Amino acid sequence: MDVKRNLATMTDFYELTMSAGYLDEGYQDKTAVFDMFFRRVSDGGGYAIMAGLATFIEAVDNLRFTRQDIDYLRSTGVFSERFLDYLKGFSLHCSIWAIEEGMPIFPHEPIVTVEGPAIECQLLETLLLVTFNHQCLIATKANRIVRSALGRPIMEFGARRAQGYDAAYYGARAAFIGGCGSTSNVMAARDFGIPASGTMAHSWVQMFPSEYDAFKKYAELYPDACVLLVDTYNVLKRGVPTAIRVFDEVLKPMGKRPKGIRIDSGDIAYLSKKARGMLDAAGYPDCTICASNSLDEYIVRDLILQGARVDSFGIGENMITAKSDPVFGGVYKLAAVKAADGSYIPKMKLSETAEKMTIPCLKKVWRIYDADGKAMADLITVADETVDAANGITLFDPVETWKQRTYQNCTAKCLSTLIYEGGRRVYESPALGDIKAFCAEQVANLWDEVRRFENPHRYYVDLSQKLWDIRSALLKELSK
């Protein structure tokens, strides 16, 4: 998987036809502002996790239209030679802001903002959306599952069920940001520095004359990392007793201790309790029990509530595909264009559905923290505004405007981070391990009521008075 591949043509065809139209109209130098945002959190959760920024940066750094790209576009018979010549010399001039990876994010706030020539903004749309929609989705799902395990390690096991190579590869990265401790995907482990993990498949056990022979050979090969899959035939009558026999006859004489057993089917709560008793009685209280088999955050939570003696979980399809709610739903909308005098003309999309109306202007996102560092609310402002928390900050709900609250003894942090300035990258992505740690820290800064799975408290994302006034005036004007 070449992360430095050129993805210039990873775009919807209409991005190119619109861009060609902008060029024909003389809009090639017209500056536009686009925002990426999402309208709802997957699985009815209280927050999502930002992920995909480093991947997007790698793609943008390598964007170019090759001779093969130009030849293909010419063959469609749609585009003028003038536009094809423009693409031959394509280079980025945009400024791009984004919320950093690992940060909890909320509906309607701009998580990525692109300002620059309209053609360039348009050509980035599909690439931007496919990158962030996928990785935010998987990181959010992974974070839910990790939290449900209450500190027990989660291993990402989903490569074979992902929707293609890229989904498995970048999904493993996003799952690690969300809190997973390891991945079974060797390529992702190698390229991203994620710990690799894995045990054996049922086919290994079936390949040998007996379960004992299979376990014995595995223990001889991997005495320092011996985890045996015990449910191929019968967990309690054959699998666990055979594993204990191998621990006694192979590992113990070598001075080694078993790492664990894995249960991949059946009533995991019941089987894990019984297996734990058998292992303890045999003198292996340090032998861990791993559970897998189509688990998700609800099953993991229920297993723990039922007293299952499971030390770690391997999660596959339900995480790597976010199976329960598999579309993140981020959109990319025009927010402003720049006038000849340098001022911004706000742009807004109207809709019969209130939540589909957009927020105009070049904007910034601020997070309000209380004196203990807990995140209280987010504030969207016009880009030239600053937030002074010295005398408190009064926020109001942009829809139910009578709902107001003044926050005292608080601080405001701008989340909109400059990534590219005039096409030049000015940001270096942190190491993936640091992003994962940052994510855990920032999620811990949310109130428990926002983090709960069912009916979470709605985290407020409010507008500054200036932005609300601009939006209200534009709404009245456009509604005439």
Give 320's contacts (C-beta < 8 A, 6+ positions apart). 138, 156, 158, 159, 161, 162, 167, 168, 171, 172, 175
> What are the structure tokens assigned to 272, written together?
């894990």
The pLDDT of residue 138 is 98
Q: How far apart are the first and last CA of the chain?
A: 53
Contacts of residue 437, Cβ cutoff 8 Å, sequence gap at least 6 = none
pLDDT of residue 461: 94
CATH numbers and ranges of domains, the chain: 150-320 (3.20.20.70), 361-414+447-480 (no CATH)
pLDDT tens across the length of the chain (480 residues)? 444 688 999 999 999 999 999 999 998 889 999 999 999 999 999 999 999 999 999 999 999 999 999 999 999 999 999 999 999 999 999 999 999 999 999 999 999 999 999 999 999 999 999 999 999 999 999 999 999 999 999 999 999 999 999 999 999 999 999 999 999 999 999 999 999 999 899 999 999 999 999 999 999 999 999 999 999 999 999 999 999 999 999 999 999 999 999 999 999 999 999 999 999 999 999 999 999 999 999 999 999 999 999 999 999 999 999 999 999 999 999 999 999 999 999 999 988 777 788 999 999 999 999 999 999 999 999 999 999 888 889 888 777 778 888 999 999 999 999 999 999 999 999 999 999 999 999 999 999 999 999 999 999 999 999 999 999 999 999 887
Q: Are 154 and 295 in contact (CB under 8 A)?
A: no
pLDDT of residue 396: 83
pLDDT the model gives residue 480: 78
Please give the pLDDT value at position 43.
97
